[in-house]
Amino acid sequence: MAKRFRLTRRFSVAMTEDGYRGLRGFAAAAGLDEGEALSFLFENFDSVTDSEVLGHRLRLFNAELEARKR
């Protein structure tokens, strides 16, 4: 039996414009709304990320973060 899809948590999210554009594009291509797309990505995080690249991309993002906040 399939799990019922319930949105049980709502939270405020701050995103960059590039990140939000990417989310909207992904959601539209998948036929989902933004909340459903985020749920899908986080429920399937290990299978949609390349673990070898993730650490490198995270280090780059963190290195640029303070400059991007200004």
What is this structure's pTM?
0.75
Question: What's the CA gap between 28 and 34, in Å, rounded?
Answer: 8
Is the pLDDT reported for residue 1 higher than 60? no
Look at residue 3 and tell me if it is in a domain: no
Question: How many separate domains does the chain show?
Answer: 1
Confidence of residue 6 (pLDDT cuts 50, 70, 90): confident
* Residue span of the structural domain in which 58 resides: 17-69
Q: Say how many Å lie between the first and final Cα of the chain, rounded.
A: 49
Look at residue 32 and tell me if it is in a domain: yes
Is the pLDDT reported for residue 5 higher than 90? no
Residue 67: the pLDDT is: 84
pLDDT in tens, 17-65: 999 999 999 999 999 999 899 999 999 999 999 988 999 999 999 999 8
Look at residue 2 and tell me if it is in a domain: no
